[in-house]
């Protein structure tokens, strides 16, 4: 994931978070993945030559991406670090750590400051995101290595008049102010004319100056990958190795050669400039090329002309702040800070769903949100996992024991012997109705009064519903809001002054649930017995599973579902609602500490992910 390499370089996320394995992507699909470095394309022979073999083709797609370009600057390629591949990001991360480690033990002030001076050349997307990420990471490194922040120098330099010039000037200004606030020196209208082992030369107007620099990171521009640049010499092309294509994304010289992404040179009719070398162009052009190849092969359907609709651009300055301009092609708006970062993560998730489904989305959320350290996320550290899972063991065991108790009490009450749901539901509803009627000065019906006095309903206390044994109208109505699709009812079974937590009850009255209960659950004695037995068995299974820490996630999930069912049929006393929140707390990983999930989880995950259709639809997580 090239757009996230700066996060690895500045150690916000681990290197595994930006990788997507080709075997996983194409698992269960008729795609043969061959790893080789292609060195020559023979267009007339429909053949390509690689370091490990030769390959023939009927159709060829050139999508080799880009590489840095150095514009002939002396020493730039030899002495600067790039950020255009996974290896680049890892190498740069190690370099940054080495500089701080060496500086911590360096007694010479000048040498120490040189080690701690970082220049980023380029103030486009990659440059701004890299220097922003580094500026966010520097205070953490200073604390770790006991280095003063003022000894670290961060500079972003570019010959352009402002950072990220493709953004509106207002947003570009915000980016510059944010960088300055983070301690970055932003130097615009300055060209780099030389890079050495420990220095960088800048030219502003007619003045050339040399500055100490321990690390120079080059993000100043790109050109097509080497294989595309070589191919561009044999077909019609434009600057920096971009190959000219027609409206169907075919090389203008070879109809069976498609070129997409950064490698294509195409100007949409009516536009002045060619399509940009950016992610959204790569995605759109891939879809168009895929369709047109399929049409060419099958002779079915029609070829599509490439007409991209770009939805905006965004840039992140660290993990907590960003700015963006996006929306529909014709109507766009500016976004900043939280909303821009939210949009970035949302767009990434949509992309990952298409490429690797659930498994990559889970991995992305884990690395970007739920395990982030030092608050380096747009939500800070609020969602980051800091609580040791062993602290959840007592809660898990207690919740399991309560569910077993509830199941046993239902058996004792006769849930396996006779239908009881009619009274279970009816008595609770009558109790609520009697309180509501009393509040509005309405005399409840005889049936309601009888139900409310507990003649029919003694719903299990606490976990499974309200006890409908209060005298009609004796309680207090606190809230009754009807939203159409559902109604919220909050009452106390006693006068307010004498109420305790065990007297307050809350219910979600949902017409659809009521209809389902009346037409299906209560349709016959046999159905009532089936549901009663099912509820008791579920409660036993949940309780035993939580006690043993086995299948904790499904047990906690079913616990929430059961609680919601009780909440929308009989309601819940407040002193029993803790079970809902306890179930939520136990959803993720609570059985891996002093629980059987520690053994069963890895065993089952290994076998689950090897099922062919599971791999194909990415219904697993590593």
pLDDT digits (tens, 9 = 90+) for 34-48: 999 999 999 999 999
The residue written with tokens 């983070």 in the block is: 182
Average pLDDT for residues 334-354, to the nearest whole number?
92
Answer whether 206's CB lies under 8 Å from 218's CB.
Answer: no
Q: Which residue has the higher pLDDT, 554 or 390?
A: 554
- Ordered DSSP codes for 440-480: TT-PPPHHHHHHHTTSS--PPSSSS-----SPTT-SEEEEE
When pLDDT is cut at 50, 70 and 90, the band that residue 474 belongs to is low
> In this predicted model, which residue has the larger pLDDT, 329 or 88?
88
The distance in angstroms from the start CA to the end CA of the chain is: 18
Contact indicator for 74, 194 with CB cutoff of 8 Å: yes
For residue 130, give the 3-state DSSP assignment.
helix
Confidence of residue 443 (pLDDT cuts 50, 70, 90): low
| pLDDT of the residue at 589 | 87
CA distances from 138 to 110, 111, 112, 287, 458 (A): 19, 18, 15, 41, 63
Q: Which residues pair with 506 in a beta bridge?
A: 490, 572
Degrees, nearest 5: CA angle 348-351-357: 110
CA distance 55 to 53: 7
- Enumerate the H helices of 479-551 as residue ranges: 511-516, 525-548
- The total of other beta-carbon atoms located within 10 Å of residue 307's CB is 11
Backbone angles phi, psi at 462, to 5 degrees: 75, -90
Helix (H) or strand (E) holding 327: strand 322-327
Domains and their CATH numbers in the chain: 36-68+224-309 (3.50.50.60), 76-220 (3.50.50.100), 323-386 (no CATH), 392-604 (no CATH)
Enumerate the β-bridge partners of residue 74.
194
Question: Tens digits of per-residue pLDDT, 490-515?
Answer: 999 998 888 999 999 999 999 999 99
**Each residue's pLDDT tens digit, 549-593:** 999 999 999 999 999 999 999 999 999 999 999 999 999 889 999
pLDDT band at residue 28 using 50, 70 and 90 as cut-offs: confident
Helices 552-567 and 578-585: crossing angle in degrees, nearest 10, is 150
Residue 556's contacts (CB-CB under 8 Å, 6 or more residues apart) are: 546, 583, 584, 586, 587, 590
User: With bands split at pLDDT 50, 70 and 90, how would you rate the model's confidence at 446?
Assistant: very low
């Amino acid at each position: 994931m090239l757009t996230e390499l700066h996060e690895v370089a500045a150690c916000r996320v681990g290197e595994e978070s930006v990788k997507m394995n080709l075997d996983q992507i194409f698992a269960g699909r008729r795609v043969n993945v061959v790893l080789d470095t292609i060195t020559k394309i023979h267009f007339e022979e429909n053949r390509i030559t690689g370091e490990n073999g030769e390959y023939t083709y009927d159709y060829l797609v050139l999508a080799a991406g880009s590489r840095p370009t150095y514009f002939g600057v002396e020493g730039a390629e030899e002495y600067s670090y790039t950020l255009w591949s996974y290896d680049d990001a890892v190498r740069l991360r190690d370099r940054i750590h080495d500089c701080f480690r060496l500086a911590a033990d360096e007694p010479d002030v000048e040498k120490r400051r040189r080690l701690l001076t970082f220049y980023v050349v380029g103030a486009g997307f990659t440059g701004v995101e890299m220097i922003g990420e580094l500026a966010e990471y520097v205070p953490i490194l200073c604390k770790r290595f006991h280095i003063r922040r003022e000894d670290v120098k961060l500079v972003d330099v570019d010959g352009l008049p402002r950072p990220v010039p493709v953004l509106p000037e207002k947003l570009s200004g915000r980016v510059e102010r944010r960088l300055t606030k983070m301690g970055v020196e932003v130097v615009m209208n300055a060209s780099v004319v030389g890079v050495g082992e420990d220095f960088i030369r800048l030219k502003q107007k007619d003045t050339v100056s040399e500055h100490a620099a321990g690390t120079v990171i080059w993000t100043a521009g790109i050109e097509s990958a080497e294989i595309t640049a070589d191919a561009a010499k044999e077909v019609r092309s434009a600057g920096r190795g971009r190959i000219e294509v027609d409206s169907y994304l075919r090389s203008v010289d070879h109809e069976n050669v498609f070129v997409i992404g950064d490698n294509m040179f195409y100007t949409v009719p009516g536009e002045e400039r060619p399509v940009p070398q950016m992610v959204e162009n790569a995605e759109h052009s891939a879809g168009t090329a895929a369709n047109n190849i399929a049409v060419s092969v099958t002779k079915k359907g029609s070829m599509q002309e490439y007409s991209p609709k770009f939805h905006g651009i965004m840039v992140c300055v660290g993990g907590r702040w960003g700015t963006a301009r996006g929306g529909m092609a014709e109507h766009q708006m500016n976004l900043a800070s939280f909303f821009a970062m939210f949009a970035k993560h949302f767009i990434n998730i949509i992309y990952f769903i298409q490429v690797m489904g659930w498994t990559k989305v889970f991995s992305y959320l884990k690395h970007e949100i739920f395990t982030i350290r030092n608050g380096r996320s747009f939500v800070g550290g609020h969602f980051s996992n800091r609580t040791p899972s062993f602290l959840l063991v007592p809660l898990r065991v207690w919740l399991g024991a309560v569910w077993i108790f509830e199941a046993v009490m239902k058996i004792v009450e006769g849930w396996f012997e006779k239908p009881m749901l009619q009274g279970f539901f009816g008595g609770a509803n009558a109790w609520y109705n009697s309180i509501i009627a009393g509040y509005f000065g309405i005399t409840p019906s005889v049936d309601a009064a009888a139900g409310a006095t507990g003649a029919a309903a003694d719903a299990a206390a606490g976990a499974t519903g309200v006890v409908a044994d209060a005298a009609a109208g004796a309680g207090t109505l606190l809230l009754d809001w009807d939203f159409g699709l559902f109604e919220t009812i909050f009452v106390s079974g006693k006068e307010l002054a004498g109420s305790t937590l065990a007297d307050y009850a809350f219910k979600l009255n949902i017409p659809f649930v009521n209809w389902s209960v009346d037409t299906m659950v209560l349709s016959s004695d046999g159905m009532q017995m089936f549901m009663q037995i099912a509820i008791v068995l579920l409660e036993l299974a949940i309780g035993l599973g939580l006690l043993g820490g086995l299948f904790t996630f499904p047990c906690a999930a079913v616990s929430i579902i059961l609680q919601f069912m009780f909440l929308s049929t009989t309601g819940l006393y407040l002193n029993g609602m803790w079970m809902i929140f306890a179930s939520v707390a136990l959803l993720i990983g609570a059985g891996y500490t002093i629980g059987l999930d520690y053994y069963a989880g890895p065993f089952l995950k290994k076998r689950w992910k090897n099922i062919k259709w599971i791999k194909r639809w990415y219904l697993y997580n590593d």
